[in-house]
Amino acid sequence: MIDVKNLSKSFGDHLVLDDISQHIYPGEKVVVIGPSGSGKSTFLRCLNLLETPSAGTISFQGTVITDPKVKIDQVRQQMGMVFQHFNLFPNMTIRKNITLAPVRTGLMKQEEADELAGHLLQRVDLTDKADAYPSQLSGGQKQRVAIVRALAMRPKLMLFDEPTSALDPEMVGEVLDVMKELARDGMTMVVVTHEMGFAREVGSRVLFMADGKVLEEAPPAELFGAPKHARLQDFLSKVL
């Protein structure tokens, strides 16, 4: 589904991603872990070109999206993204947050979008918040809305950038539950996270990144059960 070839990214002199090649298959749940500053988030943000790669190519469903001629908005319509800090639009109600993009991009009419928003909000147990504003919601509720907002575009792939890192501990569970349900429904997901439990339970493949490289990748049982790389052993001993 996504094919990444020799991806590098540097900010000035600082090399953040160092020649990464990866392939993400449909239905796969790829979980990216690693110490902070390892380039996990930058890798994720390159996938929908929120960061422009310095070198290398990324293909999505056979289209080379790093080609400057590609209409990036159309590509992004098929990739949902969930941010660490939710990034809900504070000037709109929850319903409007969800329906704005599907309506403006011509994907559906306002009534259809409103109906879809209703269904989606029901799925995450927030039906009564449709007319509330983001500032009236708790962190966990905001993040669930953010997930739903991305889903309203009917994406083929969901990117999660540390979706639980900015949450109070008691709210992490409700967000992870939504993500697990999404995984069960067969969504292709790339998740950057520090939640090792989630990685173990949901991930079909776990990537361990450090210093801009993928140092080890394996199914979770293998990666957590028998880590080979010294950096990974060290990292796991600190977080588990």
Partner 1 sequence: MFQSLIDWLDRIGPRLQRAFIEGDRWKLYLQGLGTTMELTVIALIFGVLLGLIVAVIRSAHDQQRIGRRNFVLGVLNVLCQIYTTVIRGTPMLVQLFIWTFVIFPTQRNKVLVAFIGLGVNSGAYVAEIIRGGLMSVDAGQSEAGRSLGLGYFDTMRFIVIPQAFKNILPSLGNEFITLFKDTSLAQAIGGAEMLYYASTIGGRTFDYMPPLLGIAAMYLAIVIVFTWLQGRLERRLRESDRR
Residues 13, 14, 135, 226: which binds partner 1 (CB under 8 A)? 135
Instruction: Answer yes or no whether residue 81 interacts with partner 1 by CB under 8 A.
Output: yes
Between 134 and 212, name the residue whose CB sits nearer to partner 1: 134
- The residue count for binding partner 1 (CB under 8 A) is 33
Q: Cβ 89 to partner 1, closest distance in Å?
A: 5
Shortest CA distance to 210 belongs to which of 34, 43, 6, 8?
A: 34
Dihedral Cα 33, 39, 42, 46, nearest 10 deg: -90
Task: Say what angle helices 139-151 and 94-104 make with each other, to 10 degrees.
Answer: 20
Q: Strand locations in the chain, DSSP E?
A: 2-11, 14-24, 29-33, 55-60, 63-64, 79-82, 157-161, 188-192, 205-210, 213-218
Q: Cβ 132 to partner 1, closest distance in Å?
A: 9
| Sheet strands side by side (includes 188-192) | 79-82, 157-161, 188-192, 29-33, 205-210, 213-218
Rg (CA), the chain: 18
Phi-psi region of 56 (alpha: psi -120 to 50; beta: other; left: phi over 0): left
Instruction: Answer yes or no whether residue 63 interacts with partner 1 by CB under 8 A.
Output: no
Instruction: Answer yes or no whether residue 184 interacts with partner 1 by CB under 8 A.
Output: no
| Contact yes or no for 148/118 (Cβ under 8 A) | no
Q: Cβ 150 to partner 1, closest distance in Å?
A: 7
Instruction: Answer yes or no whether residue 73 interacts with partner 1 by CB under 8 A.
Output: yes
Which of the stretches 3-11, 46-54, 121-129, 164-172 binds partner 1 when contact is defined by CB under 8 A? 46-54
Q: Cβ 55 to partner 1, closest distance in Å?
A: 11
Residues 198-237 that bind partner 1 (CB under 8 A): none
Could you tell me the two tokens for 29? 């749940």
Which of the stretches 5-13, 16-24, 73-81, 211-219 binds partner 1 when contact is defined by CB under 8 A? 73-81
Interface characters, 143-182, with partner 1 (x: CB under 8 A) = ------xx--x-----------------------------
Could you tell me the two tokens for 115? 């109906």
Tokens 């339970």 sit at which residue? 201
Between 7 and 215, name the residue whose CB sits nearer to partner 1: 7
Between 81 and 202, name the residue whose CB sits nearer to partner 1: 81
| Contact yes or no for 192/115 (Cβ under 8 A) | no
- Interacting residues toward partner 1 by CB under 8 A: 48-50, 52, 68, 72-81, 83, 85, 87-92, 100-101, 104-105, 133, 135-136, 149-150, 153
